[in-house]
Amino acid sequence: MRNPINTQSCLPERGRADHIKLRAGLMLFAVLFFADTMFSGCTRLAVLPENSGRDPDRNQDRPNILWLVSEDNSPETIGVYGNPAAHTPHIDRLASGGIVFRHAFSHSPVCAVARSTLLSGIHSPSTGMHQMRSRIAQPPEIEDLFYPTLLRKAGYYTANNSKTDYNLPTPHGRFWDESSDDAHYKNRAEGQPFFAVFNNHDTHESGMFLDVMSSEPVTDPAIVPLPPYHPDTPVMRRSWAHYFDRNRDMDSWVGGKLAELEELGLAENTIIFYYGDHGGVLPRSKRFLYHTGTAVPLVVYFPERWQHLAPLEPGSWSDELVGFADFPPTLLSLIGEPIPEQYQGRAFLGPQAKDPESGKYSEPGKDPESGKHFESGKDPVFLYRDRMVQQYDMQRGVFDGEYRYIRNFMPHRPNGQYIHFPFRMQAMQEWYRVWASGEATPKQSVFWVPQPPEELYHTASDPWEVRNLAGNPAYANKLGELREATRRYMLSYRDAGFIPDDMHQALTGGMTLYEYIRTDAYPLDYLVDLAEKATSRNPEHLPMLIWAMQEDYAPARFWGALGCLVLGYDAMAAKPRLITLLDDEFASVQVMAAEALGRLGDMDLAIAALSNVLDSELENELLYAVNALASLDVPAKYHDELLAKLQRIAYDEERVIRGSFQYSRRTATYLVMKWTEDTYPPIY
């Protein structure tokens, strides 16, 4: 069986004449697409007429660019990446005439955060858009750099069909000429070059919910390669088989879009990208910082006319490290436009992909201490994870092409926190059942227990990333190297993740968060050092934590209290200071102190403080409180006191909750059902 992640292609490394190439147009592809859908059980499309070589854009001096984007799928679900259970003939044929990227990443493992990086060319923690669906406003000068805006200024017709989800408070469609379910490059002016995005929903997580998985899968459950962290049960195998079926459907959609392009005579002037919007979607992929959550399939096809913009021959594999922050500068490189200096990515295709004098890759940022630029394309890819829907968490990390490093800044939480959407999947319910019944192996149990402060995986030999090497002395040098790379990125990009979101308005005044974190008022070096010590589980750092809880700067108090929570009973000496923080001006600090006191055994104080926060009308304050209650093992004697408030949050539609998505209602509902019903985890 091929390695499902770090695999060699089923195609040779270089293109050969006997491969199906898409140089003279995709007419052969259209015929093959029709034949395949006839015999594979996919949706049947009409036979496409021959094009006779017409090309309405033949006099165009710039290429059209077409993005075909699938949701929630990792490289291992695409046939060209080597998984024997994958059936994606149309993408595989596109790859045979294009370039396949072995190491492409979304940076974040969830849609809104990944898409905000993709839109802006700036890492989401550097804009403040790092929390899932946080709707953080950006300065006008940054919005002016969003790639659809720059493409429109360059004369391109921009069409988005139709997902946006950019983490912004403003209407997302305004950046495009057209953004709707009807958006299409066919609506452009005659002779106008186009940039068009088509998004496919077939592989989205919702397609794996229990209530839509009634049919038997087409893919044989016996042949799917299960990761070792999933229990090998019939239910889990059936879930994986259904997921491969969803990828079959998505692949047929890709085939239809390519056939349409050929039918319209546009194939010879259009550069085509196929990629996934982040990893997914079965448990421990989407929303998690592992390879299965952040790696995406990426295939780029250049027609013969624009082959000079490609770095490799058709049918080649690229080992270059690329991420979504690199996509906007790459677009501008392909169409011959200048790349804004504010972008933190760099072009990996086109004439600006390499410095014409040195031959080195273009450079996206500076080391804040040495002033030297990073050598992108060779440096590790920056990775980040924060609040996932209703559950707070914070992780940062890097991948260098061989090793993955993860720094957990909330190690008191397990990865397996209750989040409504994934728990609607039968696979997640099955995994939880096996673990809760004591039947799980050690590798299958790690997901459900508190995280270690650091994780290090040799992904090249451990593709499912289950052997944490962070505590192995033989890997101390690599651990230190990637720890420092992660810190360098956080400092260079002015990472906003160290500020609790209920403090944003008070700290920023009239500025945007993007502007505030670039001022001297944001002591990032100190906060990073404090947060690293607070989450190290080292009692020697307790004096620093006690000192931090007395700071005037509120984020320092938050991290001091969180560090005591992580230490548990080793923080007993900090109890008097924690009690004073129950009256802090910020709910996030109150909640961290209350949860820490609960862990120290003073549940009366903890519950009283959390109950007070439940009276808030602010979404982020409520989220902190219900997160703490979900994490604490709250004794039954406190349930009645809390249930009335939780039920009002969960079910009272007239209650005013000021915030973006009111995710607090989901966790409140979870707690009500957990404390009042027999089934657990509650599925609603």
Per residue in 174-220, pLDDT tens?
899 999 999 999 999 999 999 999 999 999 999 999 877 778 999 99
pLDDT digits (tens, 9 = 90+) for 281-319: 999 999 999 999 999 999 999 999 999 999 999 999 999
pLDDT digits (tens, 9 = 90+) for 119-131: 999 999 999 999 9
Confidence category of residue 60, pLDDT binned at 50, 70, 90: confident
> Residue 26: what pLDDT?
37
Give yes or no for residue 659 having a pLDDT over 80.
no
The CA distance from 352 to 331, in Å, is 10
Over range 210-233, report the average pLDDT: 92
Share of the chain above pLDDT 90, in %: 83
Find out whether 291 and 465 touch, Cβ atoms under 8 Å: yes
SS3 at position 301: strand
- Alpha helix segments (H runs only) across 221-316: 234-263, 291-294
Strand ranges in 121-279 using DSSP code E only, listed in sequence order: 157-161, 178-179, 194-200, 270-276
pLDDT digits (tens, 9 = 90+) for 152-176: 999 999 999 999 999 999 887 889 9
The CA distance from 209 to 429, in Å, is 10
Give yes or no for residue 683 having a pLDDT over 60.
yes
Confidence category of residue 655, pLDDT binned at 50, 70, 90: confident
Find out whether 137 and 168 touch, Cβ atoms under 8 Å: yes
For 638, the token pair is 């406190």
Over range 387-397, report the average pLDDT: 96
Give yes or no for residue 479 having a pLDDT over 60.
yes
pLDDT digits (tens, 9 = 90+) for 562-582: 999 999 999 999 999 999 999
| Strand pairing category for 99-105 and 316-323 | parallel
Q: Best-predicted range by mean pLDDT among 4-18, 432-446, 661-675?
A: 432-446
Q: How many CB atoms lie within 10 A of CB 640?
A: 9
The CA distance from 21 to 15, in Å, is 9
> Residue 661: what pLDDT?
67
The CA distance from 257 to 57, in Å, is 18
Residues 6 or more apart in contact with residue 243 via CB below 8 angstroms: 77, 203, 208, 281, 282
Find out whether 425 and 209 touch, Cβ atoms under 8 Å: yes
Residues 6 or more apart in contact with residue 282 via CB below 8 angstroms: 208, 230, 239, 240, 243, 425, 427
Between residues 586 and 32, which one has the greater pLDDT? 586
> Residue 51: what pLDDT?
40
For 1, the token pair is 């069986």
Catalytic residue selected from 10, 42, 111, 564? 111
Say which amino acid occupies 466: V
> Residue 264: what pLDDT?
97
What is the number of helices (H) and of strands (E) in the chain? Answer: 23, 12
The CA distance from 320 to 302, in Å, is 18
Give yes or no for residue 515 having a pLDDT over 90.
yes
> Residue 263: what pLDDT?
98
> Residue 212: what pLDDT?
73
The CA distance from 682 to 684, in Å, is 6
475 burial class (0-12, 13-18, 19+ CB within 10 angstroms)? middle
SS3 at position 211: helix
Fold of 511-676: Leucine-rich Repeat Variant (1.25.10)
Q: Is the dihedral of CA 675, 678, 683, 684 positive or negative?
A: negative
Give yes or no for residue 393 having a pLDDT over 80.
yes
- Classify residue 81 by its DSSP letter: G
Q: How many CB atoms lie within 10 A of CB 504?
A: 17
> Residue 379: what pLDDT?
87
Give yes or no for residue 100 having a pLDDT over 90.
yes
The ranges assigned to domains in the chain are 65-360, 511-676
Give yes or no for residue 500 having a pLDDT over 50.
yes
Between residues 7 and 333, which one has the greater pLDDT? 333
Place of tokens 């068009």: 196
Closest by CA position to 282, among listed 358, 221, 356, 203: 203
Ranking 33-42, 222-231, 237-246, 393-402 by mean pLDDT, the lowest is 33-42
pLDDT digits (tens, 9 = 90+) for 72-90: 999 999 999 999 999 999 9
For 567, the token pair is 């230490």
Closest by CA position to 454, among listed 398, 374, 400, 391: 398
- Classify residue 48 by its DSSP letter: P
Place of tokens 């002033």: 371
Architecture of domain 65-360: 3-Layer(aba) Sandwich (3.40)
Cis peptide before 681 (omega within 30 of 0): yes
CA distances to 10, 85, 251, 297 from 79, rounded to whole Å, are: 8, 8, 10, 10
* Whether the domain at 65-360 and the domain at 511-676 fall into the same CATH topology: no
Tell me the sheet residues that pair with 454: 407
Give yes or no for residue 527 having a pLDDT over 50.
yes
> Residue 371: what pLDDT?
43
pLDDT digits (tens, 9 = 90+) for 351-391: 999 643 344 434 444 444 444 334 345 789 999 999 999 99
Over range 253-277, report the average pLDDT: 98
5 φ, ψ (degrees, to nearest 5): -120, -65
Across the beta sheet with 194-200, the strand order is 178-179, 157-161, 194-200, 64-70, 270-276, 298-301, 99-105, 316-323
pLDDT digits (tens, 9 = 90+) for 591-626: 999 999 999 999 999 999 999 999 999 999 999 999
Please give the mean pLDDT across all residues of the chain.
89
pTM over 0.85: yes
> Residue 211: what pLDDT?
73
The CA distance from 477 to 484, in Å, is 11
Q: Which helix (H) or strand (E) holds 381?
A: strand 381-385
> Residue 64: what pLDDT?
98
SS3 at position 508: helix
Find out whether 140 and 121 touch, Cβ atoms under 8 Å: no
Half-sphere exposure of 436 (CA within 13 A, CB side): 10
Between residues 653 and 133, which one has the greater pLDDT? 133
| Strand pairing category for 194-200 and 157-161 | parallel
> Residue 59: what pLDDT?
60
Find how far residue 559's CA is from the centre of its chain.
Answer: 25
Catalytic residue status for 111: yes
> Residue 52: what pLDDT?
34
> Residue 373: what pLDDT?
37
